[in-house]
Amino acid sequence: MAYSFSGIVVWHALQSGDATPPGELYIRILTAVLLLLGAHGFAMFRRSQAERLGHSPGAVRDVTTDVAMSVWEVLFGWLGVAFALIFLFNTAPANQLEEWYPRLFLCLVVFFGAMYHRALIFVFAMLPFVFTITAQALWNGYGADQSSETLARALFLAADIGVLVWAVRLARAHGVFSTSELELPLGPGSVGGNLYGVIRCPQQVAPASGYQLDLSCIRQTKEKGRRASGEILWHFRKLVRGDLPGGGEARSSVPVLFELPDAALATAGAEGARIAWTLRASAQLSESDFGCSFEVPILDSAQAALGVQESWSHDAFSGAEEPEIAIYGRREAEAMVFRFRGQWNRASEIITAAYFLFWFQMMWLATGAGLDWAVWAMFGAGLFFLGTLLAPWFSVIETRVTPAAAKVLRSSPWGRRSDSVELAEIVSVDVTGDGLRTGLLDATDYYGVNLVTRDGRKVRAAGHLREKRAAEIAASQIQTAINRALAPARPQRPAAVA
C-alpha cells in the first residue's frame, strides 16, 4: 500500500508538471516517505522454528534475534526514502529546497527519536540523509565569504562520518547481523527425560556472570476476534558457564541441559490453543547485551539419540550453576537501605549521541533559512525527547526500610520526590516492566520494583534494571527486609541461676 501510494504521487506529479502547487507536492511526498518508513520499520517476520526442523535436521534456527530481523527493513526503507528525495530534487523549485529540506529532516529526526526510541534503524536510516543535506549546504556555501559557517558544516560532516564508522565497527565486531542457531544433537527433548542442545553464536561472547537460560512451557490460546494470550505453565532457569568444542564457524557455543518432569506437557497444537516450549539465552555485557530465543520441540516419550557426536557427553552439557545473587542493600543503624542507579548499556548510547547530533545539526541548518513557529516547535519537541532519553541514566532511587515504614527517595534531573509507606500497608513487592530501550546492538527490556499497598497504590522502589533476574532478586531482598522489620522481637532467655 505504501509503494502504491508513492507510485501514484510520482505519476501524478509527472503528469501535472508545474500545475501542482509546491506546498501540496511537499505534503504528498512527506506522506509517502513516512508510509514507506513505517511499512518497513515495523514489519517483523516471525516463523516457528519447530516447523523448519525437517528442513534442517538437528538444528533449529533463531529467526527472532533482536537486531537481525531489521537489517533488510532498514535497507528497503532507506531506498524508499532515497527515491522520494530524488523525486523531490527533480520536481521542487531550487529556491525552496534550501528552506524546506532542513525542516523536513528536522521533523524526521524528532519522529524517529519519538517512535523508535533509540532504535538501530534511526542511525542507519537518518545518517545518509543528514549527511547529504549538510554536504549540499557545504558545497553551495563553498567559496563564499562565510568561513565560520563553512567550518561548522565541515565539523558536522566529520562528526557524521565518525558516528557511521563507529556504528559499522561495533556491528561487525559483534556480528549482530546474523542469527544464532540451536543444535539438538540428541533430537527433541522428551517429557520425563532431558533436553540437550548447544547454541552456536556468531558473536564472541564471554560474559563474566555466564549465560542465563530460561526454558518456559506456554499454553497459547486465541479466541475469535481477540488477541492471542499465553499462560506460563512451567519455567526453568539456569546459569551456564564455559564453552563447548567443535563450533565450526561459530565463535561461541552455549551448552543447554534441562531435566523435564514427568508432569510436563509435550508440544501440541490445536485450533485456537497450543502448547509451546521456548528457550531464551541472555547475557549482560559491558558493550552490548546478548540475547536469542528459540521454540523447541518437546515430545511425549524419550527418543533414541540422533547421531550423537563423540565430543559431546552428558558432562559437557551439565555445566549449569545457580545464578549469582547480588546484594543491593546495606544496613544503616536500624534501617536497611537499597540504592539503585540506572544501568548503562554503553554501546547503545551512541543512539542518544546521534540523536542529539542530528537534531542540533538540523536545527542549525533550519535557522539559516529563517526562524518560524515550525522551527521553535521542533526545538521544543527535540528537547523533550532528548530529556526523556537521558533522564533514566541520571536517576537514583533509594529505598529505606525502617521498623515503621518504607521510605522511597527518587532523584532525577526533574527534581527530588519522596514517598513513605507504612510496612503494615504493604501487601506485596512486584516486578514490573520499566520500558524497552532498543539500542545500537541490542534491544533491552528494563524492569522495576513496586511496593503495592492495600488500597492498590504502587510506589516505585527500584527502577531501570537491565535484567528481570536482577529485579526479582531486588524485590526478594526488599520483601525480606520488610518481613524482618515486621517480625516481633525474639524474647530473651532468662539467665541461668547457679
Q: Kindly report the average pLDDT of the chain as a whole number.
A: 68
Most confident of the following: 165-174, 193-202, 205-214: 193-202
Cα 404 to Cα 281, 334, 420: the distances in Å are 41, 10, 10
- What is the model's pLDDT at position 54? 39
Cα(467)–Cα(211) distance, rounded to whole angstroms? 12
pLDDT tens sequence across 447-474: 889 999 998 888 888 887 877 777 888 8
Residue 1 scores a pLDDT above 60: yes
- What is the model's pLDDT at position 451? 92
Cα(470)–Cα(337) distance, rounded to whole angstroms? 17
- Residue whose entry in the numeric block shows the C-alpha cell 526478594: 476
Q: Is the four-CA dihedral 117, 119, 122, 127 of positive or negative sign?
A: positive
pLDDT tens sequence across 63-84: 344 344 444 445 555 555 555 5
pLDDT tens sequence across 33-57: 666 665 655 444 333 333 333 344 4
- Of 254, 248, 251, 246, the residue nearest 279 (C-alpha): 254
Q: Which of the four CATH numbers 1.20.1730.10, 2.60.40.640, 2.60.120.10, 3.40.50.620 does domain 186-311 have? A: 2.60.40.640
Residue 396 scores a pLDDT above 70: yes
Q: How far is CA 136 from the centre of its chain?
A: 34
Domain boundaries, the chain: 186-311
- What is the model's pLDDT at position 34? 64
DSSP readout, 231-277?
A: EEEEEEEEEE-S--S--TT-SEEEEEEEEPPTTPPPPEEETTEEEEE
Q: What percent of the chain has pLDDT over 90?
A: 1
Of 23-32, 183-192, 243-252, 272-281, the poorest mean pLDDT is in 243-252
pLDDT tens sequence across 320-368: 555 556 678 888 888 889 988 776 665 556 666 676 677 677 666 666 6
The length of the chain, given as a count of residues? 498
What is the model's pTM?
Answer: 0.53
Residue range 98-103: mean pLDDT, rounded: 59
